[in-house]
Structure 1
Amino acid sequence: MADTKREIERKYEATPETRLPDLTRVGGVSTVHDLGVQELDAVYYDTTDLRLAAASITLRRRTGGDDAGWHLKLPVAPGVRDEIRAALSPALPRRLKALARARTRDAELVPVVRLRSSRQVTQLLAEDGTPLAELSRDAVRAERLDDGRTAAWDEIEVELADDGDPALLAKVDKKFRKAGIPASASPSKLARALDETGLSVPPQATAPADAPQDEAPGDAGEHVLVYLREQVAALLAYDPGVRRDLPDAVHQMRVATRRLRSAFRTYRKVLDRDVTDPVGEELKWLAGELGVARDTEVLAERLRARIDALPRVLLLGPVRGRLRRWTAARGSGSRRRAVAALDGKRYLALLGSLDALLADPPRLKQAGGAPDVVLPRAVIKDYERLAGRVEHALALPPGHERDLAMHDARKAAKRARYAGEAATAALGRPARRFAKRMKAVQSLLGDHQDSVVARDTLRDLGIQAHASGESAFTWGLLYGQEQRAAADRERELPQVWADAADENLRAALSG
Structure 2
Amino acid sequence: MPAVHVEVERKFDVPTDFVLPDLAGVDGVAGVDAPEERQLEAVYHDTPDLRLARARVTMRRRTGGPDAGWHVKLPETAGARRELHSPLGRAGRTPPKTVQEPVTGIVRGAPVGPVASLQTRRLVTLLRADDGRVLAEVADDTVTGTAFAATPDEPATVQVWRELEVELVDGDEAVLAAVAERLVAAGASPSPSPSKLARVLTDRLAAVDGGPALPKPTKKTPAGQVVLAALATQVQALQDADLLVRTDQADGVHDLRVACRRLRSILAAYRPVVDRARTDPLRDELKWVGTELSGARDGQVALAHLRELAAAQPDELLVGPVIARLQQAEIKDAEAGRRAAARTLAGARYRQLLDDLHALLDDPPYGDRAGDPARPVLADAVRRAGKRLRRRIAAAQDESASGSLHEVRKAAKRVRYTAEVAAPVLGSRADALVDRMKTVQDLLGERQDTVVTRDWCRRLGMAASAAGENGWTFGRLHALEEARATAAEAGFWELEPTLSKAVRKAGKK
**Shared fold per TM-score greater than 0.5:** yes
**1:139–1:152 Cα contact (<8 Å) kept:** no
Q: Which runs of 5+ in 1 are unaligned?
A: none
Matches within 5 A, 1:54-73: 54-73=54-73
Task: Give the Cα–Cα distance (whole angstroms) in 2 for the partners of residues 493 and 79 of structure 1.
Answer: 38
Of the structure 1 ranges 490-499 and 271-280, higher mean CA displacement relative to structure 2 is found in 490-499
Q: CA deviation at 1:295?
A: 0.9
2-structure distance, mates of 1:150, 1:405: 63
What is the CA-CA distance between 1:177 and the residue it aligns to?
Answer: 3.1
- Post-superposition offset of 1:42: 1.4
Name the residue aligned to 1:404: 403
Q: CA deviation at 1:230?
A: 0.7
Q: CA deviation at 1:280?
A: 0.9
Per the alignment, do residues 340 and 439 of structure 1 end up closer, same or farther by CA in structure 2, a change over 3 Å counting? same
Which residue number corresponds to residue 249 of structure 2?
246
How much does 1:49 deviate? 2.6
For residue 415 of structure 1, report the CA deviation from its aligned partner.
1.2
Contact 2:9/2:168, CA 8 A, preserved across alignment = no
The answer for the alignment partner of 2:457 in structure 1 is 458
- Read off the aligned partner of 2:406 and give its amino acid letter: H
Residue in structure 1 matched with residue 183 of structure 2 by the alignment: 176
SS at match of 2:505: helix
Task: Please give the alpha-carbon distance, in whole angstroms, between the structure 2 residues aligned to 1:498 and 1:346.
Answer: 43
CA deviation after TM superposition for structure 1 residue 461, in Å: 1.5
Instruction: Tell me: CA distance 1:87–1:255, structure 2 relative to 1, closer, same or farther (3 Å).
Output: same
- Counterpart of 2:197 in structure 1 is 190
Q: Deviations over 1:439-494 (max 9, x none)?
A: 11111111111112222221121111111111111111111112222222233322
Tell me what 1:480 maps to.
Answer: 479
Q: Distance in 1 between matches of 2:252 and 2:475?
A: 33
1:141 Cα offset (Å): 2.1
Say which of 369, 372, 384 aligns to 2:375.
372
Q: Is the 8 A contact 2:123 2:139 kept in 1?
A: yes
Cα pair 1:257 1:286 within 8 Å, conserved:
yes
Question: 160, 163, 174: which is aligned to 1:156?
Answer: 163
Q: Kindly indicate whether the alpha-carbon contact (under 8 Å) linking 2:265 and 2:414 is maintained by their aligned counterparts in 1.
A: yes
Cα distance, 1:504 vs. partner? Answer: 5.9
The answer to whether residue 230 in structure 2 is matched with residue 227 in structure 1 is yes
Of residues 304, 317, 322, the one that matches 1:301 is 304
For 1:294, give the aligned amino acid: R
Q: Which amino acid aligns with 1:128?
A: D
Give the corresponding residue for 2:82. 82
Partner of 1:274: 277
Deviation at 1:36, TM superposition (A): 0.8
C-alpha distance in structure 2 between counterparts of 1:202 and 1:352, whole Å: 21
Amino acid at match of 1:270: V
3-state SS of the aligned residue for 1:129? coil
* Residues 477/259 of structure 1: CA separation in 2 closer, same or farther (3 Å cut): same
CA distance in 2, matches of 1:374, 1:350: 28
Kept after mapping to 2: 8 A contact 1:221/1:367: yes
Tell me how far 1:54 sits from its aligned partner: 2.2
Find the counterpart in structure 1 of residue 13 from structure 2. Answer: 13
Aligned-pair Cα RMSD in Å: 2.2
| Residue in 1 that maps onto 2:332 | 329
Mapped contact 2:386–2:503 kept (Cα < 8 A): no
The 5 A counterparts of 1:5-44 are 5-44=5-44
Q: C-alpha displacement at 1:352, in angstroms?
A: 0.9
With over 3 angstroms needed to count, the CA separation of the structure-2 counterparts of 1:78 and 1:213, relative to structure 1, is farther
**1:236-290 deviations in Å (ceiling 9; x for gaps):** 1121210122111111111111100010111111111111111111111111122
User: Does 1:427 find its partner at 2:444?
Assistant: no
Question: What is the CA-CA distance between 1:150 and the residue it aligns to?
Answer: 5.2
| Partner amino acid, structure 2, of 1:476 | G
Contact 2:18 2:187 in 1 (8 A): no
Please tell me the residue identity of whatever aligns with 2:179.
V
Q: Which amino acid aligns with 2:376?
A: V
Contact 1:9–1:157 (CA<8 Å) still a contact in 2?
Answer: no
* One-letter amino acid matched to 1:36: E
Give the drift of 1:163.
5.6
Please report how far the alpha carbon of residue 388 of structure 1 lies from its aligned counterpart in structure 2 after TM superposition. 2.1
Deviates more, 1:404-413 or 1:140-149: 140-149
What percentage of residue pairs aligned between the two structures are identical? 41
Alignment of 1:46-125 (within 5 A): 46-77=46-77, 80-91=80-91, 92-125=95-128
**Which shows bigger deviation, 238-247 or 20-29?**
20-29
SS at 2:116's partner residue? Answer: strand
Gaps of 5+ in 2: none
2:350 aligns with 347
Amino acid at match of 1:328: I
Tell me how far 1:328 sits from its aligned partner: 2.5
Q: Which amino acid aligns with 1:187?
A: P
Residues in 2 aligned to 1:318 and 1:152: alpha-carbon distance in whole angstroms: 65
| Alpha-carbon distance between aligned partners in 2 of 1:507 and 1:418, rounded to the nearest angstrom | 16
Matched residue SS, 1:418: helix
Q: Please, which moves more after superposition, 128-137 or 372-381?
A: 128-137
Deviations 1:269-314 (A, max 9, x none): 1111111111111111111122221111111112112211211111
Deviation at 1:128, TM superposition (A): 3.5
Instruction: Tell me if the contact between 2:298 and 2:452 (Cα under 8 Å) persists in the aligned partners.
Output: no
How big is the shift at 1:346? 1.1
Query: Is the CA contact (8 Å cut-off) linking 1:372 and 1:510 kept in structure 2?
Result: no
Question: In 1, Cα distance between the equivalents of 2:170 and 2:208?
Answer: 34
SS at 1:317 equivalent: coil
Cα distance per residue 1:144-163 (max 9 Å; x no partner): 55677352423223333246
CA deviations 1:149-186 (Å, max 9, x no partner) are 35242322333324643344443333333333233342
1:34 counterpart SS class: coil
